[in-house]
Homo-oligomer: A and B are copies of this chain.
Amino acid sequence: MPPKALVFDAYGTLFDVRSVLSRCEEVFPGQGQEITTLWRIKQLEYSWLRSLMGRYEDFWRLTEDGLRWACRAVGLSPTEAQLEQVLQSYLTISPFPDTLPALAKLTKLGLPLAILSNGSPAMLEAAVTNAALTGTIAHVISVDEVKIFKPHPSVYALAPARLGLAKEEIAFVSSNGWDAAGAKAFGFEVYWINRMAAPIEELSSPPNAVIASLLELAELLS
């Protein structure tokens, strides 16, 4: 059965979290790479830990907290102005090179395209506008509605509710293996864009397909 909507993860899937590296390197010369890596790890860890602790704060706050931690971990004591300068780069985060061409092809399928993301509404709006995706993405859905992060099932449940579809009618697309596993456990059809050729996670039944890029997805579904 062909899907009736495509729902995309945002960070790591449509937007390249490594694209904040150049700003980070500009503000913290010679340490941008290390900070960016630790920052992303901590941002995700905090999303899982705060969800389990029942202490939700939005993803913008977690992104800031992760950056603070990463700076401390490499021995820096940044000023508030430096932190702010680096943080702002998340609002103009770059899409992957294949994001726009793949979405242009997928639009021709005539299905609604949506985002379902950990990002706060303001972060997502900024990123979508900056990437000129406003007309392409029909629904931008943030976990902020349920105040808990992926992979909690109530997050994935936002998509069928908003789209007015059964979960089995939705194809979910993520580059994060753990997100693909969470979405599969919830009951979506799942496409894992395994950009980094990572080993599959031991968390749920495997995704419906593992592919290398969004362009391959467009070819597969066209």
Task: Report A's interface with B, CB cutoff 8 A.
Answer: 45-46, 48-55, 65-66, 68-69, 72-73, 148-153, 178, 181-182, 185, 198-204
A55: chain B residues at CB < 8 Å are 185, 203-204
A150 to B53, CA, bound (A): 8
Contact between A53 and B201 (Cβ–Cβ < 8 Å)? Answer: no
Contact between A203 and B46 (Cβ–Cβ < 8 Å)? Answer: yes
With A46-B202, A46-B203 known as contacts, the answer to whether A182 contacts B69 (CB < 8 A) is no
A185: chain B residues at CB < 8 Å are 53, 55
Contact between B153 and A54 (Cβ–Cβ < 8 Å)? Answer: yes
A48 to B152, CA, bound (A): 11
The smallest C-beta distance from A190 to any residue of chain B, in angstroms, reads: 14
A sample of 7 inter-chain contacts (CB < 8 A) reads A49-B151, A52-B150, A52-B152, A53-B152, A53-B182, A54-B153, A55-B204
With A45-B178, A178-B45 known as contacts, the answer to whether A201 contacts B69 (CB < 8 A) is yes
Instruction: Find the B residue at minimum CB distance from A182.
Output: B53
The smallest C-beta distance from A150 to any residue of chain B, in angstroms, reads: 8
Instruction: Find the B residue at minimum CB distance from A148.
Output: B52
A51: chain B residues at CB < 8 Å are 52
Contact between B202 and A65 (Cβ–Cβ < 8 Å)? Answer: yes
With A45-B178, A65-B202, A69-B201 known as contacts, the answer to whether A52 contacts B52 (CB < 8 A) is yes
The smallest C-beta distance from A165 to any residue of chain B, in angstroms, reads: 22
From B53, B69, B149, B203, give the contact of A202 (CB < 8 A): B69
A219 to B181, CA, bound (A): 46
A152 to B54, CA, bound (A): 8
A203 to B69, CA, bound (A): 11
Contact between B69 and A199 (Cβ–Cβ < 8 Å)? Answer: yes
